[in-house]
Amino acid sequence: MTPLPWSPSSLDKFITCPKQFHETVVLKKFKQPKTPEIIWGEKVHKDFELRIKEKQDLPKELTTHDSYIAKLDGLSGNTYTEQKIALNTKLEPCNGFAVDVWFRGVIDFFNEDGSQAKLIDYKTGKPHTKFRQLDIYAWYIFLTHKTITNIDAAYYWTKYQDETTKKYYRVELPEIWSTLKPEIVAYRNAFKTETFQPKPSGLCNGWCPVTTCEFWRPKR
C-alpha cells in the first residue's frame, strides 16, 4: 500500500492508535465527529488569521487576545498566516496535491525577519509540552528558508492566554530530524506492510468511532 503523505496531525493520529488512523483516515470506514471543541478551534484560527491578514476586528468573544495578536501583527519582516506547506520526496517545496507530495502541513503563524523567525501554533485545548508539531515546522522552516538561523517558537494557549516556548537553532537541524525520523519511518512502514495494530487506551471507552475494534467499549 502506497503511504499517504504525512502531516503533524496524521502522524499524531497514527501514534495515538494505528488502527483508528487506518479505519478513519485511510479506509474512511468511520468518521470522527466534529465536536464543539473542534468547531471552536477552527473559529479561533480563522478569526486570528483575519485579524492579521485582513485587519478585521476580532469578534467580541475573542477581544481579550487582541493585544497578543497585535504584537504578532506588528512584527517587521514577512508574515504568513495559516500557510499551507508541502514537500516532495526530494524535500523540495511543492503543491499539496502534487504526484510526489510527501509531507503536508499548515503553519498558523510564521514571521521571518533576516536570520530570525517567529513560529506560533494556536491551541484551544489543555496545555502540554509535546513539541512534535513545533519540531516539524521548525524542521520545515530550516529546510526551506536557508537564511534563517534562529526560531522563537511557541504554543499559544488561548484558554489561558499563555505560551509554552521553545527555541530552535539551525545547527540543531540534524538532531531535530533524528527525533522525528523513527515515527515517520514507522508511519510509512505500516502502509508498506499493511499492518496497523490497535493501541488500547482510555479512548477505547466509547471515545473512539471505530466500534468494530476488539478493544472498543461503550461509554459508561
pLDDT of residue 220: 83
Spatial neighbors of 43 by CB under 8 A, at least 6 apart, are none
**Concatenated DSSP letters for 34-47?**
--HHHHHHHHHHHH
Quick one: three-class SS letters along 86-155? EEECCCCECCCCCCCEEEEEEEEEEEEECCEEEEEEEECCCCCCCCHHHHHHHHHHHHHCCCCCEEEEEE
pLDDT of residue 32: 84
User: What is the third-level CATH fold of 8-204?
Assistant: Lambda Exonuclease; Chain A (3.90.320)
Instruction: Tell which residue, 158, 94, 148, has the closest CA to residue 120.
Output: 158
Average pLDDT over residues 31-49: 95
Encode 43-60: b = buried (16+ Cβ within 10 Å), e = exposed: ebbebbbbbbeeeeebee
Average pLDDT over residues 185-198: 98
The rounded distance, in Å, linking the Cα atoms of 13 and 101 is 19
Give the model confidence (pLDDT) of 128-181 as tens digits: 999 999 999 999 999 999 999 999 999 999 999 999 999 999 999 999 999 999
Q: Give the C-alpha distances (Å, rounded to integers) separating 217 from 25, 118, 129, 177, 206.
A: 21, 43, 29, 37, 5
Strand order in the sheet with 78-88: 78-88, 101-113, 116-123, 150-157, 162-169
The percentage of the chain sitting over the pLDDT mark of 70, rounded to a whole number, equals: 100
Residue 189 confidence (pLDDT) above 90: yes
pLDDT of residue 144: 97
pLDDT of residue 159: 97
Give the number of C-alpha atoms closer than 13 A to the C-alpha of residue 155, restricted to the C-beta side. 17
Residue 33 confidence (pLDDT) above 90: no
Cell of 137: 515546522
Mean pLDDT computed over every residue of the chain: 97
Output helix, strand, coil percentages for the chain, rounded to the nearest 5.
Answer: 40, 25, 35
Cβ count within 10 A of residue 64: 11
> Residue 25 has what DSSP assignment?
I
Average pLDDT over residues 85-97: 97
Residue 200 confidence (pLDDT) above 90: yes
Task: Read off the pTM.
Answer: 0.95
Average pLDDT over residues 20-39: 94
Instruction: Tell which residue, 140, 155, 122, has the closest CA to residue 46.
Output: 122
How would residue 86 be classed by pLDDT, with cut points 50, 70 and 90?
very high
pLDDT of residue 44: 98
Residue 115 confidence (pLDDT) above 90: yes
